[in-house]
Structure formats: structure tokens, C-alpha cells
Amino acid sequence: MKFLPALVIGIMALGALLLQAEPPPPIERVEIRGDRIFVNGKPFFPIGIDHAAHWHYSLPEAGAQGFNTVTTHGLKEIPESYRYDIDEAYANGMYSVALLTNSVWANMETVERIILACRDAPGLLAWGLEHEPNLLTGPRPATPDIEPPYRMPPATFEPLYEMIRRLDPHHPIHVELAYGNLNDHQRYTVVTDIHNDMIRPVPNNPLAFVARYSDNVVEGAGGKPSWMEVQMMALGGRNPTMAEVRCMTYMAIAHGIDGIIYKAFHYGQWWVTDSPGYWAQWADLTSELHLLTPYLVAPQAGETQTEIIEGSKEPGALGYTALHLSLRQTEAGYFLIAVNGFNEPVTARFTVPVPESGLAPQAAVRLENRLIDVKGGVIEDAFEPYGVHLYELFEAGAIDREAIDWPRWQRRTRR
């Protein structure tokens, strides 16, 4: 039985290999088309994680949990180390938003060396300027036409933005702001191609703040891509529950956000891996978002009428009612995102537009292994506190199998 330890070690090694994320397709081009980011000609939905870098060995762990995007950063004294981070992230299944934070951006010569070292990296998705440059150094003016006292005003970044665009016109530039303020995003749009903001409501504020921040980011972006950094870390002594995280995620998406980055792998002395049960659940969420990406990048399909038939009908915090909806157009029909932003149960009735061909009599409630009746475009369903339901509705009509352009490998010779 001397072979037993070796066998056990071999099995453990095999398990570790199975958890290793594979590199994604190398990035050949990044494009912004309207409010979407496209990678190699296909719409891309970032499922990201913040504050991860190879120098504390977290990139393999983040990649193994299914994240497809990560914010990376090198060492200020070693510009080439930025390339190490990007390549390490890519080797572990993730594209990088390379951050020029901690005042690295202020040294144009250093930034030029970083750009030249990294611009041809197969895993580089975007550049990121300073973290929260719009933090206020004094009171916000009462009128929006007066620029607030930002710690780093937009004009500070204009020479840097122009230099990066000149040295690397193939990768967009991203800025993460704070406060979820509409006026701030409108001001910083001159130095960013992708808008981003950060929201951390748990446990001190209602989750409706996610809706408010998202609305302001999308409007302030003026048609550019809009991302959101959603709380992962503990505040006030506790982590968000995964029900809260899932609610925040889909609430942001329902309000027009087209990329999510979770904050953060670590923050100060907090590390997500210190709570292994909590960390394990993130693989479930990233897997879900990967599965649903074709629907998350689908175009909006019009308005959905909502009636709450049980539970609170009154607006809550910031004037938002319980439910947050987004109807997407798919090849087969619709995809309806429905989110209960209240910490109490509700039952609701939804009415979606009915196409000329009609709708199939049942919709699939994705990830719940159940069907629900659809009558004249109407669905009724119950929601738990912070509950999320994802409905796939199908147009009525039989499939013409003779007309379907099946992939060649699925064809068989008929006799």
C-alpha cells in the first residue's frame, strides 16, 4: 500500500488542475458600439472582480471562480510589472482592466512605458484611470453648473487621456467614480470611454440605492457603456448575503448597467477567501451570469406593465417601488428580468407586449426548474424578499425544421 500517498497526491493534483481556468480567446480588437463593449466582434459582458493582483497570488483563485474580468495593477517603480499582472490574469481565464491608480497616472513618462509594455497583451481589455477621482474636498455646490471641489477634476486627466488614446487607440479608457452622481458622470465623460461607479449599501442603506446609482450612471454616460462596482466585501461586520448580491446584480442590469465588477477580492484587512463558504457561492453566481450573457446583452424590447397584487404597493426608499424590470428581445421571444428590491415578499402581475404570432402558453423560469403560465402576455408570480425571477418567453408557432440552418456538424445524411 506504499502507492497510496502518491495516489492521494495525484488525485489532489488532478482536482487542482480541474479548477484552473483556461485562457480566454486572445483579444484582437475591442470596440465600443453605442452603449456596449465588443471583443473580437462579439458583445462582451464583464463579470469582474476588483483588487486582485499576482503579487498576492489571488488571480488563480479569482479565475477559478469563473470571473472573466479583473482589475489589475503593477508596481509603480516597475512599469513592466503591469504586463506581468495582465498576462497572469489572462493565463487564469480573465481579461484585465489595467489601473493606473495610486497616482501612477500623474507621471506621464511612467504611463508611456506602461502603455508600450502592455498595449499588445492578449488579455488587455481596457485602461483605468484613478480610483474615485470625484471624491469631494469640500461641500458640493447647490447648483449643478458649478464644478464641485473634486480631489482630481476632469481637466486633470485630459492630457493623460489624449496620450493613452494616441499610444493605444485600440483599448478604451475606464473611470470609476463614487457617489452615483449624475452631474459627476456628465463632467467626467470627456476623459472616459466607459463609465463606472461603486455601490456598497449593505448593511446601512436600502438596496434601492443600486437603482439610483445605475440610473445616474447610464444617464450621465450619455450613450457610452455603463458598468457598476457592486458590493462583495463586508461592511458593518457582515458580508452581504448572496440573496442581496444577486438582487443588487440584477437590479443594476435591469436599470441599464452592462457590466458588473464585484468589490473586492480584498479590501484592507478583509479577504473574501477568509469566508470559504461565502467565497464558494460566487462560482454559482458567475456560472449563472455566463449562462445568461446572451440575454444580458440583448436589446431592450419595450415597456412591461406591472401590478403588485400582494405586498407593499407604495414607493419605498428614493421613490422606487418594489419591482425592477427589464424586458429583452431574443431570437425566440423575450427575456424578462424581474427583481424585488424590498426586504419583504410581494406577488405581482406582469403584462408584456404580445407579438403578432402570439406567445407560447408557458414561460421557463430560468435556473428554477419550473414553468409558469402566460395568458395574453400576462404572468403572475410571487417573490421572496430580494427575490429575482428570470423569465424566458417564447413566440408561438411551430418550428419549420426544413428551413433551420443547422450547423454542418449536426447534419446527417438522410436515406
**For position 314, which CATH number holds?**
2.60.40.1180
Q: Are 256 and 70 in contact (CB under 8 A)?
A: no
In terms of domains, do 371 and 227 share one? Answer: no
Parent domain of 360: 305-394
**Local structure of 31: helix, strand or coil:** strand
Q: Are 364 and 336 in contact (CB under 8 A)?
A: no
Res 14: pLDDT: 39
Res 318: pLDDT: 97
Report the helix count and the strand count for the chain, using DSSP H and E: 9, 21
What is the identity of the amino acid at 413? T
Handedness of CA 34, 183, 170, 67 (dihedral sign): negative
Res 372: pLDDT: 98
In a domain, 373, yes or no: yes
In a domain, 342, yes or no: yes
Res 56: pLDDT: 76
Do the bridges between strand 173-177 and strand 124-131 make them parallel or antiparallel, or are there none, so unpaired?
parallel
Instruction: Find, among 173, 167, 298, the residue nearest to 227 by Cα.
Output: 173
In terms of domains, do 183 and 325 share one? Answer: no
**Local structure of 41: helix, strand or coil:** coil
Instruction: Find, among 339, 344, 349, 326, the residue nearest to 385 by Cα.
Output: 344
pLDDT per residue over 298-324, tens digit each?
Answer: 999 989 999 999 999 999 999 999 999
In terms of domains, do 272 and 322 share one? Answer: no
277 CB-contact burial (10 Å; exposed 0-12 / middle 13-18 / buried 19+):
exposed
Res 17: pLDDT: 40
Res 75: pLDDT: 86
Q: pLDDT at residue 289 above 90? A: yes
In terms of domains, do 43 and 69 share one? Answer: yes
Residue in this structure with the C-alpha cell 436515406, named with its chain if needed:
415
User: What band does 387 get if pLDDT is binned at 50, 70 and 90?
Assistant: very high
Q: Number of structural domains, the chain? A: 2
In terms of domains, do 164 and 289 share one? Answer: yes
Q: Are 260 and 213 in contact (CB under 8 A)?
A: no
In a domain, 371, yes or no: yes
Other CB atoms within 10 Å distance of the CB of residue 241: 14
Handedness of CA 186, 187, 191, 197 (dihedral sign): negative
* Total residues belonging to the chain: 415
Other CB atoms within 10 Å distance of the CB of residue 344: 13
How many whole angstroms separate alpha carbon 353 and alpha carbon 298?
Answer: 17
In a domain, 313, yes or no: yes
pLDDT per residue over 204-227, tens digit each?
Answer: 999 999 999 999 999 999 999 999
In terms of domains, do 67 and 150 share one? Answer: yes
CATH number at residue 152: 3.20.20.80
How many whole angstroms separate alpha carbon 125 and alpha carbon 117?
Answer: 14
The residues, ordered by sequence, that sit 6+ positions from 177 with a Cβ below 8 Å of its Cβ are 132, 133, 134, 184, 185, 188, 195, 196, 197, 198
In terms of domains, do 313 and 197 share one? Answer: no
Q: What is the mean pLDDT of residues 355-382?
A: 97
In terms of domains, do 103 and 176 share one? Answer: yes
Distance of CA 200 to the CA centre of its chain: 15
In terms of domains, do 288 and 258 share one? Answer: yes
Handedness of CA 209, 210, 215, 220 (dihedral sign): positive
In a domain, 51, yes or no: yes
Is 0.95 surpassed by the pTM of this model? no
In terms of domains, do 290 and 311 share one? Answer: no
Q: What angle do CA 288, 255, 141 make, to 5 degrees?
A: 135
Res 407: pLDDT: 66
Chosen domain end from 296, 330, 358: 296
In a domain, 402, yes or no: no
H-helix segments, 189-272: 208-221, 242-254
How many whole angstroms separate alpha carbon 176 and alpha carbon 221?
Answer: 12
Give 311-376 as a DSSP string: S--S--GGG--SEEEEEEE-SSEEEEEEEE-SSS-EEEEEE-PPPTT-B-SEEEETTTTEEEE-BT
In a domain, 12, yes or no: no
How many whole angstroms separate alpha carbon 289 and alpha carbon 371?
Answer: 20
In terms of domains, do 260 and 160 share one? Answer: yes
pLDDT per residue over 55-111, tens digit each?
Answer: 778 999 999 999 999 999 888 878 889 999 999 999 999 999 999 998 999 999 999
In terms of domains, do 331 and 384 share one? Answer: yes
In a domain, 231, yes or no: yes
Give the residue, 121 or 412, on which the prediction is more confident.
Answer: 121
Res 73: pLDDT: 87
